[in-house]
Amino acid sequence: MNSFGQKFRITLFGESHGEGLGVVIDGIPAGIPLSESDFEADLARRRSSGKPGTTPRKEADQPQILSGIFEGKTTGAPLCVTFRNENTRSTDYRNLIDHPRPSHSDWVAAMKYNHCNDYRGGGHFSGRVTLGMVVAGAVAKKILPDVSFQTTLIEIGGEKNPECFETIIEEAVRACDSVGGIVECRAKGLPAGIGEPFFDSVESVASHLIFSVPAVKGVEFGSGFTAARMRGSEHNDPIIDARGTTATNHAGGINGGISNGNEIVLRAAVKPTASIAREQQTFNFASGQIEPLVIKGRHDACIALRAAVVIEAALAIALADLYLIGK
């Protein structure tokens, strides 16, 4: 449900247009210096920058720590961090009850919850709920001080050259459309031996969290789908020293589900934002007809831009949990 993790356990709550949202993080070791300002760098990466491809909706996204900190350090008790919602335009969403947006959660949420779900801005399905994951990711990184994370958008709208990304996005915006992208995360410095057979392989736990990030439709580790096109003699990573360093890293730092001490490498496919300004033909449940739908509201033309730090957070959370379990 809305909790994940064995020893580093996070619980998300909140909606896009309700009072607020946040996260409870349990299992943080005591004695780690922590304050709201520690979340700022990652929250800024997630924030709408106002540039093309990101929503003009701006929120201060001020985290407030409600519990778990004493004299500037974690106490071992659960950390609760909340965000208030402001600047919401709830009236934008009324008409979506009868006329749900294609490829959105609108219709499935209404089915699942007998039309009691908070449909405004996607409610609890909103990408805004990932604010709590970013906070948890920042805490996870503090638990893994020797691990450095590096996250890059390696592809937008099928284009691999970063110099063209802005153009691609601007074209999409002009076309009242959206584009997808591919995010690559690398984590260096994780010791060998992290991950638990059979079901809590590094890939299993990381993908579980990453597929929870809205819009992610694919996850691969190391050579991933390309591995399926290689021969064993090409793909195998020979060990070259007593620390287990491998000559190549097609495995993405993971053998048998366990970290091998080399860099963890994964990629996530982020679909194009479902909310597009362009008119779409889709079923209206009130009229019983396929009818044109124009989505109002403010949206990101390329959600992959803002999802990148969330995917990194998901990886950090997975690694912190497995690290604490394996200790």
Minimum gap (Å) between residue 103 Cβ and its own copies? 4
Nearer of residues 17 and 41 to its own copies, judged by Cβ: 17
CA distance 324 to 286: 51
Nearer of residues 49 and 280 to its own copies, judged by Cβ: 280
Minimum gap (Å) between residue 250 Cβ and its own copies? 7
Q: DSSP secondary-structure letter at 261?
A: S
CA distance 86 to 107: 26
For 285, the enclosing helix (H) or strand (E) is: none
Residue 61 in tokens: 């996204």
Nearer of residues 41 and 159 to its own copies, judged by Cβ: 159
Nearer of residues 54 and 201 to its own copies, judged by Cβ: 201
Residue 235 in tokens: 């793909």
Q: What is the DSSP string of 70-125?
A: ETTEE-SSPEEEEEE--S--GGGGGGGTTSPPTTSSHHHHHHHTTT-S--GGGGGG
Minimum gap (Å) between residue 142 Cβ and its own copies? 14
Q: What is the DSSP string of 298-325?
A: ---S-THHHHHHHHHHHHHHHHHHHHHH
Nearer of residues 39 and 41 to its own copies, judged by Cβ: 39
Minimum gap (Å) between residue 90 Cβ and its own copies? 10
Nearer of residues 31 and 41 to its own copies, judged by Cβ: 31
Nearer of residues 26 and 40 to its own copies, judged by Cβ: 26
Minimum gap (Å) between residue 129 Cβ and its own copies? 6
**Any residues with CB less than 8 A from the CB of 138 and at least 6 apart, and which?**
38, 39, 41, 42, 313
Q: Choose among 299, 295, 270: nearest CA to 281.
A: 295
Minimum gap (Å) between residue 58 Cβ and its own copies? 22
Nearer of residues 40 and 325 to its own copies, judged by Cβ: 325
Minimum gap (Å) between residue 285 Cβ and its own copies? 6
Minimum gap (Å) between residue 287 Cβ and its own copies? 11
Residues 62 and 42: beta-carbon distance below 8 Å = no
Residue 214 backbone zone (phi > 0: left; psi -120 to 50: alpha; other: beta) = beta
Residue 183 in tokens: 């995010």
User: Cα separations (Å) of 195 from 3, 132, 319, 325?
Assistant: 19, 24, 8, 8
Q: What's the sign of the alpha-carbon dihedral 128, 132, 135, 137? A: negative
Residue 267 backbone zone (phi > 0: left; psi -120 to 50: alpha; other: beta) = beta
